[in-house]
Structure 1
Amino acid sequence: MNRLIAAGLMFGNLIEISSPALVERYNRALKHLTGKTTKLTDFHIDISGYSPEIGDELGDPIYLNPNGANRQFILLTTSQKTAPLLNMKFSTSRGILMQFIEANEAQLFALTARDAVCGELQGSVYEVSAPARLLEMKQVTVEADTIGGHVADAERLAGQINRFRQEPDGWRDDVLIAEMIALARKTGDVTRVPISLPAMTFQQPNFWTSHFGGIYVFQDVAFPGVIASLPRESLGAMPISPVMDMTRRNQIAEWLDRNGLVEPIVQARGLDAAAVLRQKMDFILVEAAEALGLEIGDARRTELRKIAYRLGDALPDEFLGLASLLRWVEGQGPWPRITSEHACYFYTLRAAPGKDRDLVNMLLSELAPMDVRQMFITHKELFYAHYARWSERKRQWVAGFLEREYKVDAQGARAALFGPEPSMDARDRPAPRPARDVGPVVGPWGASGGRR
């Protein structure tokens, strides 16, 4: 992984902590949450305050998330909102933390100027011993305070001030006045500079979790469902139907279509479909060359074209399907009939606009794993797992491609491939399609005989 780290493709955008004051605050927070401390004098943290260096030091990569269900966090600066989330257990966690920081940025800026802020993403369950428990995690509440309890003290002081003002003999209550003075020394004048950090609750009916091999839960759609990376039988009884695994390609395709969650890339607004198809075909050729032990040189398109000639009728079905679609896009061939039974089917789709866009693209990256660019952008945990199994030759090429073609304009690349960032407004969700008898095979290609 050192190549990815050096290229800024792993552990990128982490926040450096090297100030003795911040290190001391972090240690106080770490002691408060876990009972442990670090001896490191400089390290990096993600949006939740997790540090990979401290994880290595403690031999515990989940020291801020011991049960895997209710992630704890340490905020030293509001700049953490731009950092990634490492060791992600739930796909919603980073978005929730970012919204919490942005909604309370002024208060957090003031609080972190004097102390570390600690908190927890509290789900509705405390452990996930069985897959069925995941469906009970429909919301997450974020509560936080400084190590010194400034928020709680400010609330207590505000209550005492109200009591002092309302009680006729409040000015004679020496005990009350003494308590107010003591609290004010810690909080400052809360009548002029209020301190408030209210608990915030976020809904998460649709999410991915790394538990049980990786599971996608969709409850807030017209036709709910669960999709697992492992065989569906391994999940046991689930209080939702259908329950699918990645081998149920036709069923997943029909379910995605019924819920209006995907769109063909050739129909996506503002997308250069031909360029995207060519790049996907390049990725597939690299994988084919890797499997056969063929030299790919610098894997430029001219080199990959030579590999395609060498493979001839041994070209992967994924490549041939996308090639037929590219010919149609460029006006050089008929409309191809590509159904969900075709190996290239999920390579021809992207998530439809809506609040679940990123989650659906994450799912598609598992169903179309040779598209390494989409996998890196939408599902880094899966990408790093695949990267660890690749040959040194493929690792070098993929890292070089991402550094050269993606990292220089990551935001622009995301927008070009997947469209604008989704709105949090549920009204932006695409309308689901009515249930219908589609048979065992579905797809955007089989129902039409010509251009759309």
Structure 2
Amino acid sequence: MKRLIERGLMFGGLVHVSSPALVGRYNRALQKLTGKRSKLTDFHVDISGFSPEIGFELGDDLYLNPNGVNRQFILLTTAQKTAPLLDAHFSMSRGILRQFIEENESRLFALTAQDAVMGELENSVFDVGKAARLYDIRRITIHADTTGGHVENARALEERIARFHKEPDAWWDDVLIAEMIGLAKETGDVTRQPITLDTPEFTQDNYWTSHFGGLYIFRDVEHPATICAGDPEALGKVPAPFVFGLEQRGQIAKFLELNGLVEPIIKAKGTDATAILRQKMDFILVDVAATLGRDIPARNRRDLRKLAQTLGTALPQEFHALAQLVRWAESGGRWPQITSDHPAYFYTLRARPHRDRDLVNQLLAELSPLDVRQLFICHKQLFYRTYAGWSDAKKEFVAEFLEQEYAVDKAGARAALFGPNEPQMDEEPAPKKTRRKKSAPKRDIIDVVGPWGAVLRQKKKG
């Protein structure tokens, strides 16, 4: 991983914590949340306050995320809002944290000037020993306060001030007045400088989770389904009308089509489709060369073309199908038929513009893993896992490509690949704050046999 770290492709964008004051505040919050303290005087934190160095020190990368649910956070500065979220177990977590920081930025700025703010993304699930529990996660609420309890004390003071104004004998209530004075010493004048934090409630119906090998749960679509990257049998009984494994490509393709979630890259408006497809071909070519132990040339189109000619029949179906699409786009001729059972099918798609575009692009990245650029942008955890098993030559080629072709202009690269005004692929869009009302279900042929035909609702037979 050294290549990635040196190029800022791993652990990039973290906030450096080095001043004794901030380290002390972090430890006070850490003590309250976990009962532990760090001996480090210098470390880095992500948007949630998780530090990979402290995780290594404690021997626990889940010290702020016990059981992988209800992630806790420590905020030392509002600058954390632009940091990544490391080892995310749910696709919506970073979007929620960023929106919380942005909506409370001025108040958090004032609070973090004196103390750390700590809190938790709360839902009704505390363990996911059974996959069915994941479907209980719908509403997430943020609760936060400083280590000194400034927000809670301010709320208590405001309640006593209200009592003081309402109760006719409050002037003679010595206990009430003493409580107000004591709280005011901690909070200051809350009537002029209120100390409050919004605690919004979010709902999320479509999301990815790393649990059980990786699940894509789609509930807020016309034809709901769950797509399992692990073993569907290990899920047991879950409240989903359909569960598909990644090998059930036809059913997944039909699910994406019926819900209008994808579009062919070659037909996408305002996109240099041939350039995107050629780059995918290069990544496939490099993977084949690395697998066969061949030398991988520098990122030179002529050398890569020569390598393709040398490999010849060793090139997989994905490469030849994408080459046919490029020839059709540039020269016309017969449209290449690439059906859902073809290995290249998901390489030819991208998500349509909609709220869950990044989630769908993440799924497509998992279905077309040789496209290392999309894998890095859309599914970093899977990218890092697969990267560890590559040859040194492939690691060097990919790291250099990402540094020079992606990192220098992330927004431009994402717009070219996924279309303009798309959700930031490094930043999950925040879930909805209110539930969307659903119309009464209608009984039709799709309800009876399912949109994928006569398949079992839990798993395809055979």
Q: How high is the TM-score relative to the length of structure 1?
A: 0.93
Q: CA deviation at 1:198?
A: 3.2
Q: What CA distance in whole angstroms lies between the structure 1 residues aligned with 2:101 and 2:431? A: 19
Q: What CA distance in whole angstroms lies between the structure 2 residues aligned with 1:208 and 1:102? A: 24
Residues 417, 118 of structure 1: CA spacing in aligned structure 2 closer, same or farther, 3 A cutoff?
same
Q: Which residue of 1 aligns with 2:123?
A: 123
User: Are 1:355 and 1:424, in contact at CA under 8 Å, matched by a contact in 2?
Assistant: no
Q: Which residue of 1 aligns with 2:138?
A: 138
The within-5 A match list for 1:59-70 is 59-70=59-70
Q: CA deviation at 1:421?
A: 2.4
Q: CA deviation at 1:437?
A: 7.3
Amino acid at match of 1:80: Q
Q: CA deviation at 1:73?
A: 0.4
Q: CA deviation at 1:331?
A: 2.7
May I ask how many residue pairs the two structures share in their alignment? 435
Q: Which residue of 1 aligns with 2:442?
A: none
Q: CA deviation at 1:242?
A: 1.0
2:331 alignment partner, SS class: coil
User: Are 2:262 and 2:351, in contact at CA under 8 Å, matched by a contact in 1?
Assistant: yes
Write out per-residue CA displacement over residues 185-209 of structure 1, whole angstroms, 9 at most, x where no aligned residue. 1111100111111322111111111
Q: What CA distance in whole angstroms lies between the structure 2 residues aligned with 1:221 and 1:10? A: 34
**Between 408-417 and 326-335, the greater mean CA deviation after superposition:** 326-335
Write out per-residue CA displacement over residues 402-434 of structure 1, whole angstroms, 9 at most, x where no aligned residue. 00100000111112111222487989xxxxxx9
Q: CA deviation at 1:165?
A: 1.6
User: Are 1:286 and 1:299, in contact at CA under 8 Å, matched by a contact in 2?
Assistant: no
Q: CA deviation at 1:87?
A: 1.1
Q: Which residue of 1 aligns with 2:88?
A: 88
Q: Which residue of 2 aligns with 1:421?
A: 422
Amino acid at match of 1:138: R
Residues 167, 408 of structure 1: CA spacing in aligned structure 2 closer, same or farther, 3 A cutoff?
same
Q: Which residue of 2 aligns with 1:229?
A: 229
Q: Which residue of 1 aligns with 2:281?
A: 281
The within-5 A match list for 1:29-428 is 29-419=29-419, 420-422=421-423
Structure 2, unmatched stretches of 5+, are: 424-428, 436-444, 455-462
1:86 alignment partner, SS class: coil
**Between 158-167 and 216-225, the greater mean CA deviation after superposition:** 158-167
Amino acid at match of 1:222: E
Q: CA deviation at 1:67?
A: 1.4
Q: CA deviation at 1:314?
A: 2.8
Q: CA deviation at 1:300?
A: 2.2
Q: What CA distance in whole angstroms lies between the structure 2 residues aligned with 1:438 and 1:133? A: 26
User: Are 2:49 and 2:75, in contact at CA under 8 Å, matched by a contact in 1?
Assistant: yes
Amino acid at match of 1:15: V
Is residue 28 from structure 1 mapped to residue 28 from structure 2 by the alignment?
yes
User: Are 1:296 and 1:303, in contact at CA under 8 Å, matched by a contact in 2?
Assistant: no
Q: Aligned-pair RMSD on alpha carbons? A: 1.9
User: Are 1:317 and 1:344, in contact at CA under 8 Å, matched by a contact in 2?
Assistant: yes
Amino acid at match of 1:52: P
Amino acid at match of 2:422: E
Residues 142, 437 of structure 1: CA spacing in aligned structure 2 closer, same or farther, 3 A cutoff?
closer
2:181 alignment partner, SS class: helix
Q: Which residue of 2 aligns with 1:18?
A: 18
Q: What CA distance in whole angstroms lies between the structure 2 residues aligned with 1:107 and 1:39? A: 30
Residues 225, 155 of structure 1: CA spacing in aligned structure 2 closer, same or farther, 3 A cutoff?
same
Amino acid at match of 2:21: A
Q: What CA distance in whole angstroms lies between the structure 2 residues aligned with 1:118 and 1:437? A: 46
Amino acid at match of 2:189: D
Q: CA deviation at 1:2?
A: 1.2
Residues 425, 170 of structure 1: CA spacing in aligned structure 2 closer, same or farther, 3 A cutoff?
closer
Aligned identity (percent) is: 62
Q: What CA distance in whole angstroms lies between the structure 1 residues aligned with 2:91 and 2:453? A: 32
Q: CA deviation at 1:439?
A: 7.4
Amino acid at match of 1:383: F
Q: Which residue of 1 aligns with 2:6?
A: 6
Write out per-residue CA displacement over residues 387-409 of structure 1, whole angstroms, 9 at most, x where no aligned residue. 01111111111101100100000
Residues 439, 281 of structure 1: CA spacing in aligned structure 2 closer, same or farther, 3 A cutoff?
farther
User: Are 1:75 and 1:117, in contact at CA under 8 Å, matched by a contact in 2?
Assistant: yes
1:192 alignment partner, SS class: coil
Which one has more relative contact order, counting CA pairs under 8 Å at least 6 apart?
A: 2
User: Are 2:65 and 2:72, in contact at CA under 8 Å, matched by a contact in 1?
Assistant: yes
Q: How high is the TM-score relative to the length of structure 2?
A: 0.91
**Between 235-244 and 384-393, the greater mean CA deviation after superposition:** 235-244
Amino acid at match of 1:13: G
Q: What CA distance in whole angstroms lies between the structure 2 residues aligned with 1:424 and 1:259? A: 21
Residues 35, 386 of structure 1: CA spacing in aligned structure 2 closer, same or farther, 3 A cutoff?
same
